[in-house]
Every structure is written in structure tokens, then in C-alpha cells.
Amino acid sequence: MEEMNKKNIIDSSGRILEQDASAYTISNEFEFIEEIASNGYNRIIKAIRYGKYFILKGLKQEFADKSTYQNLLYKEFEILIAMNHPNIIQGYGIEEVDGVGLCIVMDYADGYNLEDYLKQNPSLSDRRRVVKQLLKAMTYFHNMQVVHRDLKPSNILITRNGHNVKIIDFGLSDADNYAVFKEPAFTRYYASPEQLEGGMLDCRSDIYSFGRVLGQIFPKKYARVVRRCTKNRRDDRYPNADAVYKAMFSPKRLILPVLATVLLLTALFFAINSQVNYNSKPFEVRVSSTQVLKMRIKDSKAVVLSDQKVSGRLIIPDYVRYRLRKFPVREIANNAFYYNTQLEYVKLPETLHTIGSNAFTACFNLIDTVTLPLNLRYIGHHAFCASGVSCVKILSEQLQPVNKQDSIEYFFNCPNLTSVVINNSAKQLCERLFEDASSALECVYFPDTLEVIPAGFLAHTYSLKEVVFPKSLHTIGTGAFYASGIEKLVLPESVEQILGYAFRFAYNCNYLEIGSRVKMIGESAFANMDKLDTLVIRATTPPLTGVNLTEGTNTAAKRVILLVPAQSVELYRKDSNFSQFNIQPIL
């Protein structure tokens, strides 16, 4: 008997004993562990599925059937699911859960809130680390035009393992593209004056809340930063989280009096002789391609003005001279070349920062390649609408709309546009950049370094035949290939998220392959794909899915074959969102 016990001890250190193996089961149904919180109209539940812990955020029973609260839950989900940052809680999907109702499915983070963490008296370096991670997360979601509106210690988790920040509870958050559910929402002590007054909010409202939190993390240190963060006038606060980060953590240098004097004299010299905030009246300049452009200097930058009358091949210079001074060409104004049917080619300056709305609209004879230069940051509504451009090369690293309320139809109705090439330096692309761009667009080449194909990027590209995907692609945005004409799609192994409506109405697609890392497939992602007959998912665990995954898709008699890993066939057959397919093992 004693020898048998010794043998069991030795065996158990290396493997699971046969008699215990039956206890290790994996279920595709949620098993509730405990209800963690029940505040306002929400309830928070810790649950387990597929052998992993999740957090379910649903509605209390008295609110569950009310559309207003359901829509608020959907809004929080749509904001959360678009984000992927190590210091922001990860959202996976939204679904009906037996016994709870409609729930957001989120990652489980084992930890304690910031208030409890501070009671442990963490070291100065640990506190600084928490603040750095918090500011980086704020920068991330502010860049996505999201305002949290309820930053406070109870919404900042610190994980037990590694003491990393996880920002939670985006239930009161807001984004630029929402026109509803903008009622005032806040926790009074952390709310900015404009929140208390029910005014319009931006990222500086979160900066105010951060200042309150910072004062609790460092009661004495960084008092100057806290004071500026919590100014009553938002214009007096730091403009963004990056500015706060630099104010707190940029290296400080000791400057000798002599060096300080030299720098002061140098600054004085340039103040007298520089172009700072120099402005001019409109003037004309002859460029190397012999045309004459109307320009003006605004804040020491040259602007190409509206209503240009040039023709032929135009080369816009990087710099122009005015009154013996040299100014970079930074902007092309709204309507600069609007309806200019004589323009045949344009080379944009490397110094260009902004292309205004309707800048090249209806330039029918602009039929050559257009290159968006490296320094370009902003592009306006209808910038190249109905132009004759045949190819677009994107060198710009971070392209954004001039006006976020009009962030569509930049290349709308360009009948000759057949290809798009994106340079390896590109990090961020504009949502819906090529939506409804062309009935002739056939191929798009993405750089290997790109991680996200943004929402609606290639929607309604009916002739699309070839897409070269990035090897590092992580997320396919909402409606990215909505109503595209591509016939076969093999997504890279790196893809983890496919957001809602991603391939809806991709009517020609008959084969779609998804790699083993996929964790989430959003609502109606494969809906109305009339010719889909083969779907391959290499993930061993069925990904979380949104509602109406294949709504409207012809799946009569389980026509669509779903190929999955052999060991996972039964798991997929038990999953309600995949059971409708003809599930077969990958050979």
C-alpha cells in the first residue's frame, strides 16, 4: 500500500492520473461561478466556458426587456470590441446566455481595484508604472475618438500577476460616431466641470478625471501636473494624455547658466528672424511645371487655395518662396481643383499635411497614379470623388479624416480605379477610405506590418479579385469587406478578431479560410454570402460569435461545409452558432 502511494505521488507530478482524467471536461456552455457586482442597471457575473474564466456583463431583470438599456449594452460592446490594448479589458462578443439574458462576454482579470491596491502601500516605482500604463491606455482609446467619461479608482484594475493596469467599465463611454445616448453620466468627485454642467465632452474631460486619480496615487509628488489636469477651463488643461506623460516622465536636464544664456540668445535671434505665425495675403507662384498656383501663407505654412485654373501635368513643390522666405507647402484647401477637367496628373508635395474636402472632385482626366505622401495626416470628404485616378499609392503612416463627422467617400465613384498599394510604413488607415470607390477596383496590396484593416475599408468594391493580406494582421474591422466581390479569401494565421458585418453580402465568395488564432467572430460577419460553400476554421476551440452569424446565407440542407480540426468536430457541433453547418474534419 505504501509503495502504491509513493508511485501515485511520483506519477502525479508528471501527468494526470487515468482515474482523475474524467474530471477535466470542457463545456461550450457558461457555468456561473459567482455574481461579482450589481450596480445601476447592470449585473456582473464570473463564469467559465471552454475551461476559461470570463466576465459576463448583463442587465438586471427589471431592465432586461427595455430597448433603451439593451441599446446601451450594445453601444458599450461596440466601443469595447473595437479596442485591443494590454491595459484595457478585452471584449469578445455579445450573446444571449441562459439564465442571464443579453450579455457582453469579456476577459477575466484577476486583481483588485486601484483603491485597494494603494492600501498595500506600493513603491514609488510601482506607482509610476501604474500611471504610465494608465496614460498609454488613455492615449489609445482617445486616438479611437472614445471618451471614457467615468475614470476612477474602482474602474482601474491592477492584476495580481504582474501588477498590470486593466481599465474596465466602458458603460458610460462615448465616441464621436454616436448621435444618441449622450446623456450626462459621471461620478461627481471625478467629473469635470463640463460633465457636471451637461456640456460637450472630449479627451480633456478624461484628463480632469485622471488628475483626480493621480492626486490619490501621488498625494504630494506631481502636484503641478495634478493642478493643470484639474483646471476648471478645459483649454487650460493638458491637451491629451501624451502631453501629461511627457510632463511627468520626460528626462530632466540640468542647464548651466552659461548654456541657458546661449539658448536664450538663440531663441531671441530666431524669434526676430523666424517665420513663427507669419501670415500673408493671397499671392501667385509659378511652379516647375510652368503653371501658376494661387497660394497664401498661414501660420508660416503655404496653403494651395481654392478654385485653381491649372491644366496638364502639375508638380506641386515641397517649398515656395515669398518675400525672400521659404515656406513648406502643408495644405491643399477645400475645392482647390474642384471640377478641373483639364488636370491630367498631379504630384503632391512630400511636405503635404492636409488635403481638403472636394480638393480633386470631378477631375475626370486625372487618370494617372496618385501618391499620398509620407507626411500626409488628414484627408477631407470627397477629396478624390469622381476623379479619373487609376491607382492609389499610400505612403502616409497615419491617415485620418479632416472632419470625423464626414469620414466617408474619399474616392467615391472613381470609375478607372483598379488597384491600391499601401506602403510598409503605414500604421493607421482611414475607415471607409475606399468604400464605393470603384466598380473596377480589382486588387489591394496591404503591407506586412499592418495590424488592423479598418471599418468599411473596402465596402461595396464589387469587382475586387485579389487582396494581399498583412502577415501581422490582427483585426478585420466592422464591414471591412461588406458587399465586396472577392471569390476566395484565405486570412493570415495571425487574425484574432473578425468584427461584425466583416464579409456580409460578399456575394461571390465561395471559399473562406480562417487560421487557428481566431478568438472572436462578430455579429452577421458571414451573413448573406450567397455562394459560400466551404468555410475553414482552424481554431481548436470554437471562437465566440455574435448574433445572426450567417443570417440570410443560403444554408439549406447544410449546404455550407465547415472544416475544423478533427479533435474539435464535436465541440463545433454542440455550439449553436456553428451547428447549422455541415461540419467535417480537416483532412
Predicted confidence band at 507 (pLDDT cuts at 50, 70, 90)? confident
Residue with cell 471640377: 339
Question: How high is the pLDDT of residue 307?
Answer: 94
Question: Please, are residues 431 and 456 in contact by the beta-carbon 8 Å criterion?
Answer: yes
Question: How high is the pLDDT of residue 277?
Answer: 66
Residue 259 resides in a domain: no
Residues 6+ apart with CB under 8 A from 233: none
Answer with the residue of higher pLDDT: 476 or 92. 476
Residue 4 resides in a domain: no
Alpha-carbon span 579 to 558, nearest angstrom: 9
Question: How high is the pLDDT of residue 557?
Answer: 36
Residue 19 resides in a domain: no
Question: How high is the pLDDT of residue 580?
Answer: 83
Residues 226 and 151 in one domain: yes
Averaged pLDDT for residues 171-198: 74
* Statement: residue 253 has pLDDT above 60: no
CATH number for the domain including 198? 1.10.510.10
The length of the chain is: 587
Residue 55 resides in a domain: yes
Residues 431 and 325 in one domain: yes
Domain boundary among 92, 107, 122: 107
Residue 77 resides in a domain: yes
Alpha-carbon span 364 to 319, nearest angstrom: 28
Predicted confidence band at 553 (pLDDT cuts at 50, 70, 90)? low
Q: C-alpha angle 570/93/40, rounded to 5°?
A: 130
Residue 562, SS3?
strand
For the chain, the helix, strand and coil percentages under 3-state DSSP, each to the nearest 5: 25, 25, 55
Alpha-carbon span 407 to 168, nearest angstrom: 28
Among 306, 370, 290, residue whose Cα is nearest residue 340 = 306
Residues 298 and 396 in one domain: yes
Alpha-carbon span 199 to 147, nearest angstrom: 13
Residues 425 and 293 in one domain: yes
pLDDT (tens digit, 9 = 90+) per residue, 313-331? 999 999 999 988 899 999 9
CATH number for the domain including 493? 3.80.10.10
Arithmetic mean of pLDDT over the chain: 86
* DSSP assigned state of 62: T
Question: How high is the pLDDT of residue 13?
Answer: 44
Predicted confidence band at 198 (pLDDT cuts at 50, 70, 90)? confident
Residues 423 and 288 in one domain: yes
Domain boundary among 68, 87, 107: 107
Residues 6+ apart with CB under 8 A from 259: none
Residue 527 resides in a domain: yes
pLDDT (tens digit, 9 = 90+) per residue, 418-430? 999 998 878 888 8
Query: In total, how many domains does the chain have?
Result: 4
Residue 448 resides in a domain: no
Tell me how many helices (H) and strands (E) the chain has: 10, 35
Question: How high is the pLDDT of residue 263?
Answer: 65
Residues 223 and 335 in one domain: no
Residue 95, SS3?
strand
Question: How high is the pLDDT of residue 437?
Answer: 86
Predicted confidence band at 17 (pLDDT cuts at 50, 70, 90)? very low
Residues 431 and 484 in one domain: no
Residues 281 and 425 in one domain: yes
Residues 393 and 352 in one domain: yes
Could you list the residue range(s) of the whole structural domain that residue 166 is in?
114-249
Residues 123 and 171 in one domain: yes
The cell for 182 is 449622450
CATH number for the domain including 65? 3.30.200.20
pLDDT (tens digit, 9 = 90+) per residue, 18-73? 444 444 456 778 888 888 877 778 899 999 988 889 999 999 988 888 888 888 88
Question: Please, are residues 548 and 523 in contact by the beta-carbon 8 Å criterion?
Answer: yes
Tell me the whole-structure pTM to 2 decimals: 0.56
Least confident of 118-127, 243-252, 446-455, 534-543: 243-252
HEC string for 105-126:
EEECCCEEEHHHHHCCCCCHHH
Residues 136 and 103 in one domain: no
Residue 34 resides in a domain: yes
* DSSP assigned state of 129: H
Domain boundary among 107, 140, 165: 107
Residues 103 and 125 in one domain: no
